[in-house]
C-alpha cells in the first residue's frame, strides 16, 4: 500500500515526540487541505513536560512569524498599496521607504534595537534608532526584521482608525474559516490552547499562554499580564504582536495558506520581488531564498524541492509553517513544540532544524 505525504509527515512527527529533548518535541501536529477542500489533521504529544496527552488538532497556539502572512494579506485587502511611501502613513523622514520594502524585508531596518515595544512605547522611534539601521537604503538589501511588521501593523491602524485584530479577523481570519486571532482578543474557547515551552538550561521553561495568565483580560501578554483594550488608540498595534502574535490551530494554519495564496491577490503576494543572486543578504543555504510580499518562496530548492509558497515561524520553542503546494494545490500547516532556541547566539535566522526540514521535504515532494 502506498503511504501518502500526510501519513509520512504524521509518522515523522509522532516519532519526534518520542525522542528525548533537546532533539525531541513535546507536541507536534500536521494538517493538509486537499484541492477539493477535504481536511486531514493530527496532533500528538503532551501538553507540557509531564502533562496530559494531546490529540485534538483544534488546540490553538502562538504561531510566531506565520502571523506575517496574515498581516500582509490584510494590508493588501485593506487597500494599502505596496508602493505607498511609509511617510504618508507614519512620521517617517525617508520618502524612499515604501510599504512594499517592509513587506519584503528590504527596508534597511533591523531588529538591532529590539522590536517588542508595547504601547505607550514608540516603535516608530525604535525603528529610527541608529542600532536599527542596516546601512543599506530601502530596496538595497534583504534583512529579515520583525520590526518591519510592527510598523505595518501601526500603519494599518493609523490608516483605518481601527484595531489591528479586527482588521485581520475581517479581511483574513473569518473568511478563511479561522476562529483564532491576534493575541487572544476575540478568540472563543480560550481553554482550547497549548502553552509554548522552550528547552533552556537542561529543562523546559514555559514561555507563553500558561494557566497562570489573566484569562479574563482582553489581551494576555507574554508574562501572563492582562491588558484592557479600553485604552487602545490607533497606532497601538504592538499590543497584538503583529510580527508573531497570531493564535491558531494546525488546521487553521493550512486554511490560512489556502485562503491567502490561492487567488489573484495571493498570486501577487507570492510573486518574487527579491531572490538569491540579485539581492544582498538573501542566503541560498538559509531560511530565505526568494521572497514576495509577506511570503517565502521555494522553487526547486536543493534542500526542499517542489514549489511552495507561505511562511514559517520559529520562536519560544515552537516551529510552525503555513504552506501552499503550488504544484498540487494542497495547503499544509504544521507545528512542533518544545524545542531550544535555534537562533541563540546567531546574528541571522537559522535554517530549518533537520527534523523540520524533513517535514518541508515531505510536503514539497509529495
Yes or no: say if 308 and 326 are a contact pair by the CB < 8 Å rule.
yes
Q: List alpha helices for 262-310, DSSP H.
A: 264-269
- pTM for the complete prediction? 0.96
Give the bridge partners for 315, in sequence order: 318
Cell reading at 140: 538595497
Cell reading at 235: 497606532
Q: List alpha helices for the chain, DSSP H.
A: 5-17, 67-77, 99-103, 123-127, 146-160, 164-168, 250-261, 264-269, 354-365
pLDDT of residue 1: 41
* Alpha-carbon span 26 to 260, nearest angstrom: 29
Which residues contact residue 214 at a Cβ distance below 8 angstroms, ignoring those fewer than 6 apart? 220, 224, 225, 226
Long-range contacts from 9-15, C-beta under 8 angstroms, 24+ separation: 9/334, 9/359, 9/362, 9/363, 10/42, 10/44, 12/355, 12/358, 12/359, 12/362, 13/42, 13/44, 13/334, 13/336, 13/359, 14/44
* DSSP 3-state of 62: strand
pLDDT of residue 122: 87
pLDDT of residue 39: 98
Yes or no: say if 288 and 104 are a contact pair by the CB < 8 Å rule.
no
Would you give the end-to-end CA distance of the chain in angstroms?
16
Nearest to 326 by CA among 351, 294, 295: 295
Yes or no: say if 357 and 351 are a contact pair by the CB < 8 Å rule.
yes
* Alpha-carbon span 340 to 198, nearest angstrom: 5
* Alpha-carbon span 350 to 42, nearest angstrom: 27
Angle (CA) 343 105 91, round 5°: 120
Q: What are the residue boundaries of the structural domains of the chain, listed by start?
A: 5-72+165-365
Which residues contact residue 5 at a Cβ distance below 8 angstroms, ignoring those fewer than 6 apart? 32, 362, 363, 365, 366
* Alpha-carbon span 315 to 213, nearest angstrom: 19
Task: Please state the φ and ψ torsions of residue 70, each to the nearest 5 degrees.
Answer: -65, -40
pLDDT per residue as tens, the chain (366 positions): 457 999 999 999 999 999 999 999 999 999 999 999 999 999 999 999 999 999 999 999 999 999 999 999 999 999 999 999 999 999 999 999 999 999 999 999 999 999 987 787 789 999 999 999 999 999 999 999 999 999 999 999 999 999 999 999 999 999 999 999 999 998 989 999 999 999 999 999 999 999 999 999 989 987 889 999 999 999 999 999 999 999 999 999 999 999 999 999 999 999 999 887 778 877 655 678 899 999 999 999 888 999 999 999 999 999 999 999 999 999 999 999 999 988 776 666 667 889 999 999 999 998
What is the fold of 5-72+165-365?
A: Beta-lactamase (3.40.710)
Amino acid at each position: 500500500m502506498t503511504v501518502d505525504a500526510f501519513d509520512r509527515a504524521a509518522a515523522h512527527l509522532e516519532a519526534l515526540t518520542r525522542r528525548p529533548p533537546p532533539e525531541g518535541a513535546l507536541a507536534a501536529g500536521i494538517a493538509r487541505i486537499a484541492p477539493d477542500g477535504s481536511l486531514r489533521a493530527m496532533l500528538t504529544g503532551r501538553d507540557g513536560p509531564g502533562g496530559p496527552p494531546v490529540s485534538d488538532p483544534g488546540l490553538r497556539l502562538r504561531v510566531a512569524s506565520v502571523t506575517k502572512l496574515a498581516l500582509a494579506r490584510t494590508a493588501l485587502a485593506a487597500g494599502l498599496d505596496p508602493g505607498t511611501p511609509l511617510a504618508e502613513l507614519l512620521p517617517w523622514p525617508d520618502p524612499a521607504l515604501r510599504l512594499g520594502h517592509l513587506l519584503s524585508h528590504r527596508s534597511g531596518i533591523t531588529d538591532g534595537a529590539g522590536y517588542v515595544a508595547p504601547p505607550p512605547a514608540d516603535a516608530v522611534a525604535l525603528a529610527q534608532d541608529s542600532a536599527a539601521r542596516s546601512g543599506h537604503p530601502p530596496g538595497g538589501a534583504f534583512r529579515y526584521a520583525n520590526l518591519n511588521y510592527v510598523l505595518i501593523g501601526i500603519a494599518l491602524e493609523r490608516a483605518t482608525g481601527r484595531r489591528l485584530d479586527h482588521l485581520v479577523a475581517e479581511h483574513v481570519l473569518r473568511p478563511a474559516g479561522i476562529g483564532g486571532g491576534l493575541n487572544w482578543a476575540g478568540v472563543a474557547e480560550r481553554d482550547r490552547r497549548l502553552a509554548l515551552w522552550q528547552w533552556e538550561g537542561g529543562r523546559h521553561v514555559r514561555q507563553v499562554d500558561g494557566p497562570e495568565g489573566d484569562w479574563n483580560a482582553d489581551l494576555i501578554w507574554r508574562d501572563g499580564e492582562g491588558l484592557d483594550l479600553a485604552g487602545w488608540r490607533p497606532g497601538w498595534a504592538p499590543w497584538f504582536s503583529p510580527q508573531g502574535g497570531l493564535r491558531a490551530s494546525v488546521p487553521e494554519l493550512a486554511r490560512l495558506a489556502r485562503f491567502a495564496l490561492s487567488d489573484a491577490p495571493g498570486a501577487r503576494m507570492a510573486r518574487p520581488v527579491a531572490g538569491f543572486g540579485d539581492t544582498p543578504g538573501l542566503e541560498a543555504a538559509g531560511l530565505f531564498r526568494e521572497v514576495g510580499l509577506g511570503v517565502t518562496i521555494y522553487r526547486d530548492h536543493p534542500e526542499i524541492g517542489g514549489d511552495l509558497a507561505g511562511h514559517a515561524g520559529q520562536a519560544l520553542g515552537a516551529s510552525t509553517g503555513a504552506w501552499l503546494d503550488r504544484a498540487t494545490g494542497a495547503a499544509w500547516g504544521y507545528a512542533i513544540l518544545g524545542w531550544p532556541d535555534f537562533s541563540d547566539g546567531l546574528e541571522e535566522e537559522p535554517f530549518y532544524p533537520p527534523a523540520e526540514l524533513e517535514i518541508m521535504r515531505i510536503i514539497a515532494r509529495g
